[in-house]
Amino acid sequence: MTTALDHTPLQRRAALADPVQQLDRMLEIRHFEDRIKELFGQGLIHGTTHTCQGQEAVSIGLALAARTTDHVCCTYRGHGHALALGMTPHSVLGEITGRVTGTIGGVGGSMHLSDRSVGLMPTSAIVGAGIPIAAGAALTAQVLGQDHCAVALFGDGATNIGAFHEGLNLAAIWRLPVVFVCENNVYGEYSRFDTTTPVEDLAVRATSYGMPSEVVDGQVIGDVSAAIERALARARGGDGPTLIECKTYRYSGHSRADAATYRPAGELDTWLARDPIVLHRRSLIERGLLDDEAADRLAADVQARIESCIEETMASEPATVASMFRHVYATTTTTTTGS
């Protein structure tokens, strides 16, 4: 018997066409992130991590709108995007925990996830780096006459770094088939974005590059996916790039070390009242696609799935010494250190 755990990344991606599966995936991301936070807190995982609770609708909206042949550049806050785009919890958790079961054998860690089969380019730990890289992926499509597009996801903080401005400018003058998706989750690392950024809607920055832009509700899957679909259609039609700002919220701190004590009282509660999972669940029930009992059962199934994934991953082999010497150059024998 096959279970959800046996599905390939492409199967997992295709499954998202079903609105109930969208809820399943959002719950998977939420529970995964909650447990990651706990495991780090317990000292069971080494290093650092950046979780995305609260931003699940953006991940699902992206995965619905993009094709698996499109190129997606994401950030170090990437577990949710990776799971939404199709990566399995086993390959993501294996990577985060430095196990052989990780997507690249555990040598990358939490900030470096990728899966070419679903178009996820290696996520970068450098703020804004994916923006010009996505422009370059779009350049390939333009030069080779392919139908592919590129999508860059980045946070509000990235709109203050040079790579953002250089990447948007280049994409605009060359009319590249790329969509820039800013997840404005209100905080850039430990700083509220209005203390670092002189505009309220980051989307207005597109104006400087003669580029269309949209502000969307990042808590609603349909709003996010529709905006990205419109932008992708423009890009594929030769009309160049678009900047989309998704208004969302990061429930956790910047990284595992950050308790987010700087947040004004009540802010988190305001956003929790518009939790993307609650909103989507309510919508499914209103549309008659699910009842409360089935929704609860779904949540319990997802939790059990993640728990067994954690159990299996923690029992799996740690990354090998041989793996850290692989993939430095095309032929691993040609290294600068030689014998």
Give residues in contact with another protein (CB under 8 A).
71, 73, 103-105, 107-108, 112, 114-116, 121-122, 124, 126, 129, 131-144, 148, 150, 162-163, 166-167, 169-170, 173-174, 326-330, 334-336, 338
Residue 173 vs 278, nearer CB to another protein: 173
Q: Alpha-carbon distance 157 to 144, whole Å?
A: 33
Strand-pair partners of 99: 318
Minimum separation from the CB atom of position 166 to another protein (A): 3
Residue 136 vs 212, nearer CB to another protein: 136
Minimum separation from the CB atom of position 10 to another protein (A): 15
Tokens of 224: 């996010």
Minimum separation from the CB atom of position 138 to another protein (A): 8
Residue 95 vs 223, nearer CB to another protein: 95
Minimum separation from the CB atom of position 164 to another protein (A): 10
Cβ neighbours for 126, distance < 8 A, ≥ 6 positions apart: none
Minimum separation from the CB atom of position 159 to another protein (A): 15
Residue 145 vs 266, nearer CB to another protein: 145
Identify the CA nearest to 60 among candidates 280, 304, 302.
280
Cα dist from 8 to 16, 46, 117, whole Å: 13, 27, 10
Residue 308 vs 323, nearer CB to another protein: 323
Q: Are the C-beta atoms of 102 and 317 separated by less than 8 Å?
A: no
Q: Alpha-carbon distance 218 to 223, whole Å?
A: 7
Tokens of 152: 């860059």
